[in-house]
Structure 1
Amino acid sequence: MPILISADELAARLSSGERTVVLDVRWTLAQPDGSEAFRAGHVPGAVYVDLDRELADHDVQGAGRHPLPGEAGLTAAMRRWGLRDGDTVVVTDDLGNQSAARAWWLLKHAGVADVRMLDGALAGWRAAGHPLETGETTPESGDATAHFGSMPVVDIDGAAGIPAEGVLLDSRAAERYRGEVEPIDPRAGHIPGAVSAPTAANLDADGRFRTPEELRERFAALGVHGDAPVAAYCGSGVTAAHQVAALAIAGIDAALFPGSWSQWSNDWARPVATGAEAGLTVK
């Protein structure tokens, strides 16, 4: 199944009546509640997804700031969004898919076969001249059920072992990787042996994913070669899903470490590295 859909392709699907569920995952670290922005303008028919409440389970302790939801919780959310078995789902945001990728990854993990990201996200939709809709969207309840296991995952011990046999990509900004700043987690730095690969570099100047060839070159320069295992983490498992998606576009399978730096840095028995690793930090 394709990973991306263009604005024109999505508009054609919507105008034809071909069943398509559009999910708007408006979220940033600074503004986690994107509901007001959603109401001000979204792809017609899109349903707002609350990343903090629906794509995470904060009752889970010790697993980072955005622990994965359970199957029951995600099933309830999917049905609220109107998902039915066999639906084509398109996710978007206003951040180059860096938050929407969390929904892409979770739905793929839950067994939804056809999940795509709107390439260029909402900015790409606007640039293509397509209209926005305002207000709320209340879909009919769906009947889809989450069955986890379709995407590779590593836990904190698995993440610790990846650098010895493969590549562990740190998806945060390079200055956070180096330990120069840390706006939210208790310790600054990175998992020892991890390679700096800021997620924003997966996108071009228009906020669209780079071509598969460009992404393959990018990841090859970071040491991703052959069949060695690859995993990605970020601050709390949100933008690392974007890294997994970029790797998939490049034809590379990668695991997600959902707990990410928020879990690692809160475990004081875990070592922390700082600074840039020679030749492998990409800004």
Structure 2
Amino acid sequence: MTPLISANQLEEIINSGENVLLCDCRFDLVDAEAGRKAYEESHIPGAIHVDLDHDLSGNKNGSNGRHPLPSPESWAKTKTRLGISPNTLVVAYDKQGSVYASRLWWMLKATGHANVRVLDGGLDSWNGPMGTIPRKPNPTTQAIEPMPYVGLVLVDEVMSNLQSQKNIVLDARANDRFHGENETLDPIGGHIPGAINHFFKNNLSATAFKTSEQLFNNFVNLLGANKPSQVIHQCGSGVTACHNLLAMEVAGLKGSRLYAGSWSEWCADPERPIEL
């Protein structure tokens, strides 16, 4: 099953009466309330709002990054509260090139929920009706068991990879931030030594993903003979990295992993090396 769904396909599912949970993931890293406000003003009818800070991130301690993953136990409780039962079809969307929708997609997929899709093109692709009445989540009564994140890489493995070079670290940030220029979100600029750069927006044609063939060619040219399983994705805080991971899945290149702590965790320890 492709991880993407078109607006026409989504509209057909909604009109058929099939059970689908629409998750509006709009967010703004500069204005944390902007996504929720936009949702309250207008959204696809029936959608709930899923917030990066409150739903898709755990507690920060100053050294674990700007958007650390919630613990498996906390994430299971959030899925219960949002109404994500094991068989629920979840369709995630945003208006930022599917960045935040990709984070929800990865978190669900990594904890065993396969029935999740991302609306290709996001809200910009939607030509159906819009709603203005916010919907409160309907918690599921099914027991949601905590599951570890499959494909999650911790900082110690990234650190040991500096010597072993077994894996490729792929940084999804813009090229200037990768090179330590114009850093506005983290206190220190630069990148993990040895990492290579693939800006997540290179996966897009306007607001939709490029074709699977285009994405396949782009990543194969970038990675060379390295297998998808050798790719560790990272970015600033583990969000846009999910976009690259999703794009590789669309391309049929499955098995890459996520370093969720990313640059904001890496640079929090002055003992870790930095490259410009």
Provide TM-score, normalisation by structure 2: 0.93
| 1:209 to partner: Cα distance | 0.8
* Secondary structure at 1:222 match in 2: helix
Native 8 Å contact 2:172 2:200 kept in 1: yes
Unaligned 5+ runs, structure 1: 275-283
Q: Is 1:157 equivalent to 2:159 in the alignment?
A: no
Q: Is 1:116 equivalent to 2:121 in the alignment?
A: no
Moved more, 47-56 or 224-233: 224-233
Kindly report which structure 2 residues correspond to 1:87-98, keeping only aligned pairs within 5 A, or say none: 87-98=88-99
Query: Cα distance 1:13–1:249, how it changes in 2: closer, same or farther (>3 A)?
Result: same
| 1:62 to partner: Cα distance | 2.3
Residue equivalent to 2:7: 7
Moved more, 169-178 or 74-83: 74-83
In 2, Cα distance between equivalents of 1:250 and 1:70: 30
Residue equivalent to 1:211: 211
Note the aligned Cα RMSD (angstroms): 1.6
Residue equivalent to 1:263: 265
| 1:218 to partner: Cα distance | 1.3
| 1:59 to partner: Cα distance | 4.6
Query: Cα distance 1:200–1:65, how it changes in 2: closer, same or farther (>3 A)?
Result: same
In 1, Cα distance between equivalents of 2:64 and 2:121: 31
Native 8 Å contact 2:173 2:197 kept in 1: yes
- What letter corresponds to residue 151 of structure 1 in structure 2? V
Native 8 Å contact 1:22 1:46 kept in 2: yes
| 1:217 to partner: Cα distance | 1.5
Residue equivalent to 1:272: 274
Residue equivalent to 1:279: none
Q: Is 1:130 equivalent to 2:132 in the alignment?
A: no
In 2, Cα distance between equivalents of 1:220 and 1:54: 34
- What letter corresponds to residue 225 of structure 2 in structure 1? H
- What letter corresponds to residue 217 of structure 1 in structure 2? N
| 1:107 to partner: Cα distance | 0.8
Moved more, 53-62 or 173-182: 53-62
| 1:146 to partner: Cα distance | 4.9
Deviations 1:102-145 (A, max 9, x none): 111111112112110000011111xxx21111121024221352
| 1:83 to partner: Cα distance | 1.7
Provide TM-score, normalisation by structure 1: 0.90
Native 8 Å contact 1:58 1:65 kept in 2: no
Native 8 Å contact 2:42 2:130 kept in 1: yes
- What letter corresponds to residue 221 of structure 1 in structure 2? N
In 1, Cα distance between equivalents of 2:260 and 2:8: 33
Residue equivalent to 2:248: 247
| 1:225 to partner: Cα distance | 3.0
Q: Percent identity?
A: 38
Native 8 Å contact 2:60 2:66 kept in 1: no
In 2, Cα distance between equivalents of 1:31 and 1:144: 35
Residue equivalent to 1:141: 139
Query: Cα distance 1:146–1:236, how it changes in 2: closer, same or farther (>3 A)?
Result: farther
* Secondary structure at 1:22 match in 2: strand
Native 8 Å contact 2:191 2:274 kept in 1: yes
* Secondary structure at 1:215 match in 2: helix
* Secondary structure at 1:54 match in 2: coil
Moved more, 82-91 or 188-197: 82-91
Residue equivalent to 1:75: 76
Deviations 1:38-94 (A, max 9, x none): 011111111101110111112555211111101222122212222222111101111
Moved more, 60-69 or 114-123: 60-69
- What letter corresponds to residue 261 of structure 2 in structure 1? G
In 2, Cα distance between equivalents of 1:171 and 1:144: 35
In 2, Cα distance between equivalents of 1:273 and 1:43: 43
* Secondary structure at 2:213 match in 1: helix
Kindly report which structure 2 residues correspond to 1:192-231, keeping only aligned pairs within 5 A, or say none: 192-205=193-206, 207-227=207-227, 229-231=230-232
